[in-house]
Homo-oligomer: A and B are copies of this chain.
Amino acid sequence: MSTERASFRTIRDEMSRRIAERIWLPGALIPGEEALAREFGAARATVNRALQELARAGVLERKRRAGTRVALHPVREARFIIPRVRQEIEARGSEYRYQLLSCEEELAPEVICARLSLRTASMLVHVRCLHLADRVPYQFEDRWINPQVVPDAKFATFRDMGPNEWLVGHAPFSNAEFTFMAAAASDEEAGLLQIRPGDPVFVGERITWMRAEPITLVHMVHPSSHRMVTQL
């Protein structure tokens, strides 16, 4: 008889507490849905929702017939918002500025084609640009776009709008791969970001696909003052 009304939230939190306080030990089998429903005075569907949330969070492992166990080695995941440079800057309350450096159709270097899993050397649209926050260089973007998948890219000028924003409206993606790393600034990067060559830079790389077709590869370089923060 609890004072709180039975809801999937209170049930979820109570079960979470039992796991945290080791009332339910790692690896242990916990009661079935029906038993829990009786205990909490709720419908099985409500308990099920609570259990599914905890399973999605990685703290429970559920198998039909075998029951539900407290995860032994919880594989915990965290999420981050896929960065959209303009929004990132405006969310800080800074003024966003964009500057196109170059935009050409080129035969892409082998390294680039390989990263995009293009078998043959291909003509790709190569865009280089700079994003500024309050007139201070924030990110240098070096991007290759596959016109096989995004034919419009050949005709876009990218003078007033960054390729990131442009692509959002012209080529949704179904898959993406992200890489983050630290590197030393090249001479060109240093000049553009107003730092010294060899200074550490934070680099993000993103490849996106629609189904199996590679859309774009982008290399994003930030000065070392940059922080990528995420929760939970």
A interface residues with partner B (beta carbon < 8 Å): 16, 19-20, 26, 59, 73-82, 84, 87, 168-169, 172, 174-184, 198-203, 210, 222, 224, 226-232
Known: A180-B228, A181-B202. 13 other contacts (CB 8 A): A77-B81, A78-B79, A80-B80, A176-B231, A176-B232, A177-B231, A178-B231, A182-B224, A183-B200, A184-B224, A198-B198, A199-B200, A200-B224
Determine the distance from Cα of A77 to Cα of B184 in the docked complex, in whole angstroms.
Answer: 28
A202–B182 CB distance below 8 A: yes
Query: Closest 9 interchain pairs by CB?
Result: A200-B200, A182-B182, A182-B202, A182-B200, A76-B82, A180-B228, A77-B79, A182-B224, A179-B229
A229–B184 CB distance below 8 A: no
A180 to chain B, nearest CB (A): 4
Checking B78, B175, B176, B198 against A80 with a beta-carbon cut-off of 8 angstroms, the contacting residue is B78
Residue of B nearest to A77 (CB): B79
On chain B, the residues within 8 Å of A77 by CB distance are 79-82
